[in-house]
Structure 1
Amino acid sequence: MNRIVSLLVVPYARLKSPPLFFWLLLSYMTIVVLLVSFILYSVFFYRGHVREEVITYNNLNLKDTSDNYEAKIKQIENSVLSFSMNDRVAALDTPVFNYAAGGKLIDELQVFLTNQSLYLDNMIIYYQDSNVAIEKSRGADADVMFKRYYGSSDYSYDYWKSQFDSPYVIRILPASSFYEYDDPNKLASSSQLIPIIIRNQTNPSILFIAFADAQKMYRDFHQSITNDFYILDSSRRSYFASGGEKAEAIPAFDGQSSFVKQGDNYYFYKKGASSGLTYVNIIPNDNISQMKWNITFVLLLALAILLSLLASFLFSLRLRRPVKQLVKAIQLLTTGSPWRKQSAIKEFAIIQEKVRHLLDSNMDINQDLEHRNSLLRHYAYINQLKNIRSSAGYLKDLIKSNQPYRVVLFKLTFRPRLLEEIGDEERATNFIRDYINNVLTENYPESLTLQLESDQLLAVIYADDAGPDLDETLEGIKNVLELDLAYCFSTMAISGHYEHPDEFKLSFEQAKSMLHLRKFNGTNQILRVISGAKPANYYLMPAQEEELNASLTNGNEPQIMQFVKRELAALRKKEATDHEVKGFANYLADRAKRALVVNQLDCELIQTMQTELQHCHAFEELERLFEEWLPRLMNLVRSKKEKKDHITSFVFDYLEQHYAHDITLDMMADKLNITRSYLSTYFKEKTGTYFVDYVNLIRVSRAKELLSCSDVKIQDAAARVGYQNINSFNRMFKKFTGVTPSEFRKVEQRA
């Protein structure tokens, strides 16, 4: 007893940091309180909600019952109407009844009534004109049928006869007992049936009376725990009663609720949608009563609470002792320099050594995991971009989901000076990537920067609008990269906001397409999403193209230089994109190359110029390059023109103007008034190329220009350069370029 008191009386100083015993005891007692609260809440909840649950249960049961009755009545109506369309039924509607034909109709009626799903005991077809009624086993005069074979205290022969005077399609009558007599005084059988009268408007003098088995329908459709079930019409007249008694005691229904409570009973009701009948199920109040308190339950609950509190105290006391000893041992390890003192206790010394080893290993593992996780995230994003199907599904989980993100695509352009002084673009790209990654992770801890190509970096930045401003961060990176403009410059394309991981490739494609919007200058640029912006392609009007070709072919240096300066000035004025200016430069170089080929000159000079074109990133550099190389090229052309060969020059000029037409060696020989074999041999000797190969070379060169425009289809490009067969075009294009037309277009778009 004294020990218990000493444990409960805690000094004030220890209250600030309660011992383990206090927390264990508090935890156990909290669990006990929660369980008791749950039990009490369950009891009150059960008491308060059991009535609603039972009411809901009975409503659902009655709904199923009413739905089954309504569906079955509708099925009977449709089936009988279908049977009434039988030609044999209408043929018997005459003043003189044909009993031979009636026998065949009885056979068909027997087959119809074998359908057990209709719940029909029998069906009478009553002909007004002949006053004859037939059913599944016989035919007789109507008065005999309704007095002897289907007699009822509720429905007399006169009642059935009067039904011909009422215009309706279907009428459901209250259930009644129908009797059959062997003779006027001897009862043979009786059945409780629900008569359903159906009339086909095309034969109003024929009455179809379907007798549904009331008890069988009740047994199959009624799902309640009680047997007090009624069917009423709109006038509260009883159509069916499960016990056979009348329904005068059923209260009126207001239609606002699904049940009415009166006296000791609940009256659940449901009105049928098609028949208009009301289905009623009576449940005694005892079945929906609330649970009452039980003295035994209260005593057991109190005893369980006391035992739980006592067990909590004892368990807390038992667990306190070994944990207290372990804490003391750990305190010894952490006194002063914890990993230099060795415990004298063997067990604790082992624990100390193992903990030291685990901590060291944990530090190494964490570093290794951090590095591996970074690599895995790289792989995850690369797999997304390149559509790599990987069995390692966990890679996809490394891509953050349900977090807004943007991607920034960095395109690096290196100058020749970097290759001369450093000599390694890959090394420079790694330095830039590390710098960008450090800046971005400082502002956006979840960001990731990865290298896609030797000159492309991709940064994935998870941040919403409330975070650091991305534009300011990129402007800071841009200002730092400005220091190395002599070696390289970059283009930073920022995508829009996305959230779903499946949209990652879409965000990358958006940023990639924006690279074509870069302005032509050798500075760092930041490109943002502009709605409706599309890269412009360089093109000439037909008259300008003809003028340029003539100037290049004839070596007209002043005219070609004037053309170049005029085009460069126009491009500079409109602040043309890098894509458009490079398109102009490549177009001019390609045309100059063709002029060299036409004049049978070596193309090595133009290839050197094209190599230097790749390193021109400003209008001044481009203009300087053309001023240096074009005069040399035009001088070569003019020199060759002085030694012009009449036959090859005519072929070159004609093909340049008519390459899109049907051109053959025979046609060219006729135009030159020479033989076909002579032209073929002469052209090969002078140019080193077969005539057919040269024609295809001209056409493929022109097709390359057309395919550089994204709005020209491959089939259209083939037709415009003279190929009517797409297979021939594909074969020749790959022969002279090494790639197919579709592959060439992809390379152009990527560039």
Structure 2
Amino acid sequence: MSTLLDIKEKSRSLFNKLLFSFLVIILLFTTFNFVSYAFFRNNLYDEIIRYNTLNLNHTVDNYENHLHLLQTTLLSELFSTSAIALESSRDQPSYSTVVDLNNELRVMMGNEPLFLDNVIVQFQNLKIAVDKNGSHQSADLFDKYYESQLYTKEFWRAEALKPFSFQLYPAAEFSQKKVFDPSPGQQQLLPIMVKKSGSSNTTILAFLDASKALKKFHQSINSNFLILDSSGKVIYNVGDTSLLDNLPDFSKSDSLFIKHEKNLYFYKASPESGLIYVNIVPEQSISQQTTQMNVILISLLVIAIIISVGTSIFFSMKFNNPLKRIVQSVTELNASAPPTFQIREFNIISQRLAQLAQSDRNAKADLSHKDSLLQYYSFINKIKNIQTHSDVPQEEKPDMLEKPFVMTAFQLTYKEDFEGVTEFGKDKASYYVKEFIQMTMLKEYENSLTFQMEQDMILTLIFADPVLDERIQQTLLHIKQVLDLDNQYIFLTIAVSDVYPESANFTAAYEQSLERLQKRKLNEETQIIAPSTTAETPIHHWGFTSLEDQDFMVHLHAGNAAQTITLVHRALDRMQKNEATAHACIDFAQEIVSKVNKTLITLQLDMQPAADSPSPGEQIRSCYTHEQFKEFLSGYLSLSAELIQKKKEGYDPITKFMTEYMESHIGEDLSLDILADKLKVSAAYLSAYFKDKTGINFIDYLNDLRIRKAKEMLLGSDAKIQDIAVSVGYQSVNSFIRMFKRSTGMSPGEFRKSSLTGS
């Protein structure tokens, strides 16, 4: 029996419990690893398949995005000013135009991520070609420079006559002949031809460095990679060339890979270019990877179990021994003479326990002398709506909590001159102001309490039975007169709450004081907002009218700084005439900044402020006069309009042609297909190109243009609405009215009427 009791007692020791806990955790960890290993082993093959599939998808995305980028870049060059000028030449080409085109090609070749070895622009009418090195005779181009047995000058002459705009050709070895180099080097390049659809006069040949592109776009542990065209013809290949003799038919399978002759062929066909990308992985390689992974996982699991058991025993002992000593030292602790130990940590614990006991005695001894401090924090907790967790009984709290009171809020505003003249900071200045207010209030109201909530916020509680409004007003006027002596640097907004009967209304009084602070008018003087001065004022519409808001957005999108500033100044003048509060002016300024920021984001612009300059929000909050609001908003709108104007002035021949054509044919049937046909490009490409250059969809731009022209005709003529609808391209007056109302919020007739009445 005694042996069983000893075993039971030992099992309750901290060491055994710690060791047992560690072993349970190790068991759970081991079980989890076994389950994970079994699951991973069964799914390893699938994971390898998934990895290769995802890797090929990544490769396809890289190649397709790059080909799309090359198509866009080369087509842009085809429509460049210098290329169009040379294409139109019938006699000897202009030397300066050739130099301009050569410089443009040099800039393009300087863009290393394009992986281009060279770009050649051929002009059949002039029988010349221009590349990064200058101009050449078209007849000698492929004899002296890019020589290939597969691609001769007769081949390229025939390709130029075919009806396409973009064509990728199989990779081939090209050699560049030089006078002083009898053995020119070979380089594998992917040729690309770009030309206007239906036109063979001007063509662009681009040579893509196949090895650099492969290194960037295809990251795989396998070296066998193919690119086929839609007919199965090899465009580019690396790795074992013997695999090309017996490729499977990828068109007869719907899976992500094909098993064929001990190899896995992972493939994906691009719907855009029609190319088929193939990554060939030997099936034996996957089996080897699976076996190696199994060995590694089992080895790691065995090592982890051994280390875990040893670590568990070690840490159990390290935890148990110090805790035994700590328990012993605590039981022997004497407050008057704390015990000492050879271990430094135990001495620290013993000393800290003695200090805590002494601090507890001191706190109890001083508790009776802290009534005023308790009262102070009680009121702070009341105002902040914080539950008081005090050990003081309710009946011992100050009687004034149940008296009527008035709350007075003082909000400080520091002017710009404060930082450059005063010797101390805002925190110290706020403290001095708080001390002055507290001294003045205590002189008039013996039981008043003054405390600083924030750097710029001071609160005073005045208790009286009854409260005399005239007396409070006189006291506040005295404070104002004294602080007005420093009006060059600081001014206050003073808000007085109503009389509240008891402390349960502290939250309501605090919220009312903050609400009255927001009724401050715009000026640089200290203002007192008392209950007698806060009568209900008529509700005005601050800011823009509906029509002004529409005009503002139109001029903002057009980058017209003067018109936007005029509209803002007009609204601010109206707010000043109607005595709008400072809070209303701040809201209006923040609304303007928000509209500008949204417009800049839409146009993909970013107005970066200086590193040491305050944010727009901070600048708005530092404005306290109408002139300061005007100055800030004028500067902000000028900078924004300048950015927008620069964006609009960026020359692009395609978008310029499109916008000018729409302007001059606004009354005709306009569509993306019509413009695409005139530019000899596809409608899908032109839509994406226009959105990329302008930041707006083609149809949205066309609708905005028609509504803008309609507004001009409604304001500048007496024409009938039906005639105006036809003039701007709407064959149905109902469609015109519906689109106009969707854009402006009112019908054309209402718009014309509101403009005439000025409402």
Q: Please state which band the TM-score falls in when normalised by the shorter chain.
A: 0.3 to 0.5
**Rg comparison, structure with higher value:** 1
- Normalised by the length of structure 1, the TM-score is 0.41
- Normalised by the length of structure 2, the TM-score is 0.41
